[in-house]
Each structure stands twice: as structure tokens, then as C-alpha cells.
């Protein structure tokens, strides 16, 4: 009998400082539509207009690029547009798009200095995934490309607005204490 050895799965990162310092602070949502379909194109543009109205009215911060791609561009194989979202609005925008996308497919990825990895392995999809052309993306750059620094959100947020590690530990301990008697909530390992 041949024995096959399978390497162990990598251990998930659980160091608070490392996790906090390496988290992403900005996201892209790419809404795809078939260029040949007037119905799908209209649905994608209506969704974009709704996002713009909701941003104007204060529902969330989301910035669709002014440009709508009416042909494949970069890694994207179809008509598309990008919506930039800071981490502080991610949940609201994600839920809104998930609830209102209809049949449209949406690529979601973080915005970091590793664009190719962001699109290839750190991505997620709402709807049917599309093949994307990764060869056009750089593997790594020296810094994260800043978008909309005038908003002072995401990567452009002021350092004094950050929650300290000590404050995070305090909040974590408070959550653990509140959940200690709840039989449905798993306790954190004692280490």
C-alpha cells in the first residue's frame, strides 16, 4: 500500500497585533454585466445610481468610479464598474448589494499592496464567478494605492482614530465575560 502524506494545514494567524496591523481597510466591489444584454446593462447602471443616491443620503460611504467600463479592461472580462468602500461601511454595502444585485455577479476583494493576490485568493463573489485575467495585475507594489484620501477613511484614516491594542483587549475581555454563561457561545481557548 502506498502511503500519501499530506502536509498539515497552515496555522491561522491569531496574534492580536499582527492581525490588527495587517487587516485591510478598503475594499473593491466590481459589478459585472454582459455588454450584449441591454437588460443586464440597465440593471447594473440602475444599481450604481441607487448606490450613489444612498451615499448622498448617508446610508453608507461607497464611491463608484465615474467610469463605467463598456468593454473588458484590466483583469475584468466584461462590462463592469468598481465601487470603493472603506472598512467602516463594508457590512452595509455588502448587505445592500447582496440584497439588490438581482442576477448580476459581483467580485469583492480587499485593496492592498498585493493586487494580484487580492483578486486571485483573497476574493469573494456574489453570484456566478467570472474568469478574470490575472496576468495584467502586479504581484506586489511598495504601498497600498490610496483612493479618496480626502475622506480620511480606510487607509487614509488618522492614526489617533485607531482603537489601541489595549482597548481591543479590554473589549474582548468584556465580550468573553458577557458570554461566559451562555451555553450556545463557544469560549475562547484558555491558552
In a domain, 175, yes or no: no
Q: How far apart are CA 63 and CA 187, in angstroms?
A: 39
Q: Is residue 11 part of a domain?
A: no
Q: What is the pLDDT of residue 138?
A: 81
CATH of the domain at 142: 3.30.70.1240
Q: What is the pLDDT of residue 162?
A: 84
Count the domains in the chain. Answer: 1
Residues 6 or more apart whose Cβ sits within 8 Å of residue 119:
75, 107, 109, 132, 134, 137
The residue range of the domain holding 137 is 21-156
pTM for the full predicted model: 0.86
**Domain assignment present for 3:** no
10-residue mean pLDDT profile of the chain (191 residues): values are 72 87 92 96 97 97 94 92 96 98 97 91 95 87 87 89 90 92 90 80
pLDDT at 60: 96
Q: How far is 90 from 62, CA to CA, in rounded Å?
A: 9
In a domain, 105, yes or no: yes
- Find the farthest-apart pair of alpha carbons in the chain and give their distance in angstroms, rounded: 67
Amino acid at each position: 500500500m502506498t502511503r500519501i502524506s499530506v502536509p498539515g494545514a497552515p496555522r491561522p494567524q491569531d496574534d492580536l497585533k499582527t492581525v490588527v496591523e495587517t487587516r485591510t481597510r478598503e475594499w473593491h466591489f466590481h459589478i459585472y454585466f454582459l455588454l450584449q444584454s441591454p437588460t443586464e446593462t440597465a440593471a447594473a447602471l440602475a444599481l450604481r445610481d441607487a448606490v450613489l443616491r444612498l451615499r448622498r443620503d448617508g446610508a453608507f460611504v461607497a464611491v463608484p468610479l465615474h467610469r463605467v467600463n463598456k468593454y473588458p479592461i484590466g483583469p475584468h472580462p466584461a462590462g463592469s464598474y468598481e465601487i470603493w468602500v472603506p472598512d467602516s461601511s463594508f457590512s452595509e454595502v455588502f448587505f445592500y448589494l447582496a440584497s439588490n444585485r438581482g442576477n448580476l455577479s459581483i467580485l469583492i476583494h480587499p485593496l492592498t499592496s498585493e493586487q494580484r493576490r487580492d483578486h486571485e485568493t483573497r476574493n469573494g463573489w456574489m453570484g456566478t464567478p467570472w474568469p478574470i485575467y490575472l496576468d495584467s495585475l502586479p504581484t506586489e507594489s511598495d504601498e497600498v494605492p490610496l483612493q479618496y484620501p480626502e475622506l480620511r477613511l480606510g487607509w487614509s484614516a488618522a492614526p489617533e482614530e485607531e482603537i489601541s491594542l489595549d482597548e481591543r483587549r479590554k473589549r474582548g475581555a468584556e465580550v468573553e465575560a458577557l458570554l461566559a454563561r451562555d451555553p450556545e457561545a463557544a469560549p475562547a481557548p484558555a491558552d
